[in-house]
Structure 1
Amino acid sequence: MTQPPHDEPTAQTPKELREQVEQTRHELGETVEALAAETDLKARAQQKAADVKDQAAAKAGQLKEKAAEAASLAADRVPGPVRDKAAQAAGQARAKAARAGQLWQDKAPEPVRAKTSQATQAARDNRLLLAAAGAAVLLWLVCRRGNG
């Protein structure tokens, strides 16, 4: 028979002995669960993947905010007449795009239309980034025209 550790009192009654045994079982169960969690590579990999995904989403949010700020700064620097001309050109482009879209729906095969629809949805999901890129291009064109 083994002796109990020196820091734990020995049980005086069968009831105390049962309580000690139950406590020991509980502690052993917790230890086994902790060891199992450490050796569960699949769960650890899934947790790591979730952490990386969360970090990527946070970084994407930060980049979207920076792009919005850049677009706002770029739009503020564009002179009024240029901005008006750009708005007029954008209206004309929307009208032409609507006509082209209708022609596309009438003539394009279904698999091609499906892929185009997916790309369009991706562009809609990233409007802020696209607007920032467009503003940067517009600013570059204005600066280039002013220097040229």
Structure 2
Amino acid sequence: MTQPPHDEIATSEPGELRERVDHTRDKLGLTIEALAGKADVKADALGRASEVRERAAAKAGELKEKAAELAHQAHDRLPDPLKDTAARAAEQARTKTAAAGRLWQEKAPEPLRQKTAHGARSAQDNRKVLLAAAGATALVWLACRRRQG
């Protein structure tokens, strides 16, 4: 009898040989999947971005709750006479605003009302730009004020 060469597997059962091949193939497949997962930078970045987004949303929720809690605490600390005065002032402001709107509708010429309505729609449509401009103006004003003081 001759001995098998060193590079051949010594086995007498073809079934055992098939099992070894299948096992090796499975291990190789898992290794390739693991390497492919490490090489998938886009999926990794998307996963991390999702995690960051979830953490930011959670933090925003916490901050929102904290702000609401602080607002309630401030409201609870206000003396009742001050709350009543503020409520009356708000009601007066609503009443006067409504009266001014009615007077505007009655007295203002139609072309002026149309231009005003158009300007109001434009302001609503571009409110982000207007808010940014207002913020920039406030920063410039504060910088000038700080420089003078």
TM-score bracket relative to the smaller structure: 0.5 to 0.7
Residue 39 of structure 2 is matched in structure 1 by 39
Q: Say if 1:12 and 1:93 are closer, same or farther in 2 by CA, change over 3 A.
A: farther
* Identity level (%): 45
Q: Greater RCO between the two (CA within 8 Å, min separation 6)?
A: 1
The one-letter code matched in structure 1 to 2:75 is: A
Task: Structure 2: give runs of 5+ residues left out of the alignment.
Answer: 1-5, 106-112, 131-149
One-letter amino acid matched to 1:107? A
Please state how far the C-alpha of 1:113 moved relative to its aligned partner. 3.2
Q: Calculate the aligned-residue CA RMSD, in Å.
A: 3.5
TM superposition score normalised by structure 1: 0.60
Instruction: Name the counterpart of 1:72.
Output: 72
1:2-47 Cα shifts (integer Å, max 9, x gaps): 477xxxxx75421222122112111211111111111111111111
- Write out aligned runs for 1:62-141 (5 A): 62-94=62-94, 96=97, 99=101, 107-109=117-119, 110-116=121-127
Q: Look at both structures and tell me which one has the larger radius of gyration over its CA atoms.
A: 2
> Structure 1: which 5+ residue stretches go unaligned?
5-9, 120-148
Q: Normalising by structure 2, what TM-score?
A: 0.60
Size of the aligned set, in residue pairs, is 113
